[in-house]
Amino acid sequence: AADGKSVVRALYGGATSLNLSSQRIKDVPKCVSRLTKLSVLLLNNNSISRLPVELLSLRQLAELNLGNNDLEEVPAVLGHLESLKKTLPVHDRWVLTNLVVLNLNHNLIQRLPPEIKSLTKLQHLSVLDNNLEEVPVEIGYLASLSEINLTSNKLSQLPQQLYQCKELTKLYAARNKLASLPEVVARFVLQEDRNRFSLIHRMLPRYPSLAALLACGSCCAVCLGPFLTTWLECVHFVRLKKDMKMKTLLTVPVRALVCSYKCFNREGHSFYGVATR
């Protein structure tokens, strides 16, 4: 078989990369595990539904592509490949704390484990064309996430925790079952609308109903970022003599709105939470 010949050549050549993409593979050849110097393994465009435990010997593996296969769940073996930098599914243990790019496109995956929260350096997450019915709320822990692609799944809603991803600038969620404007989208649009040179700022007047909805937005008292749905209502006590240079000793409570748990926990402010929504 073509895949067997490729492995044999790689074995004799001491290869550091192996391309087995588009080979109609259903089972990954176990002899691949003998390529202990392998750092790149391409298995995309096949019919793979699981990975052999023998892959644990690939201690130097840094990039693994499993796109467009028949995976229905996260392969358990990947949780042990600690050197991976770019990969597809990883085990619930999620030891890949340095992972920056995670590509899960074109599989049959139904869920992402909550342990995804440990990927604090993750910047790009793509789960295009799977069977996801929900996104775990732990997604909000991904402080470095700047782009997420959830196109072509079975999502009926997005978790509000997504708007805690302060670096998020690109969200793709077309061809799902979303019925309302997610808060994370509203915040992105509101932020872009502040820039009079942005495309969104120029196009928004053409959608009066959307503009009217966004007009109800507010500004976070901590980060000054815009939002549509209030996460926490706070109170700030203003001492008129000290803070406002007025000739009175009165202290006045002032209402303040905060957009996220991250902002509320930020040091240096004097806001006290009084109600949640």
Locate 202 and state its tokens.
């120029």
CB under 8 Å to 47, separation ≥6 — which residues?
24, 25, 26, 69, 70
The pLDDT score that the predictor gives to residue 251 is 87
First to last CA, the chain: 60
Nearest to 271 by CA among 241, 238, 247, 240: 238
CA 89/CA 160 separation, integer angstroms: 24
The SS3 assignment for 130 reads: coil
Q: Which DSSP category does 8 fall into?
A: H
- Which amino acid is residue 218, in one-letter code? S
Residues, the chain: 277
What are the helix (H) ranges across 137-244? 183-193, 199-203, 208-214, 240-244
The pLDDT score that the predictor gives to residue 166 is 79
Q: What number is the average pLDDT over the span 228-257?
A: 84
The pLDDT score that the predictor gives to residue 93 is 42
Higher pLDDT, 157 or 59: 157
The SS3 assignment for 63 reads: strand
The pLDDT score that the predictor gives to residue 150 is 94
Instruction: Provide the percentage of residues in the chain whose pLDDT is more than 70.
Output: 83
Higher pLDDT, 117 or 20: 20
Q: What number is the average pLDDT over the span 200-216?
A: 90
CA 22/CA 252 separation, integer angstroms: 69
Model confidence at 70: pLDDT above 60: yes
Q: What number is the average pLDDT over the span 204-213?
A: 90
The SS3 assignment for 127 reads: coil
CA 75/CA 210 separation, integer angstroms: 42
Q: What number is the average pLDDT over the span 224-233?
A: 85
**Lowest pLDDT segment from 44-53, 73-82, 150-159, 207-216:** 73-82
pLDDT band at 129 (very low <50, low <70, confident <90, very high): very high
* pTM of the shown model: 0.55
Domains, in order of start, for the chain: 1-89 (3.80.10.10), 226-276 (no CATH)
pLDDT band at 62 (very low <50, low <70, confident <90, very high): low
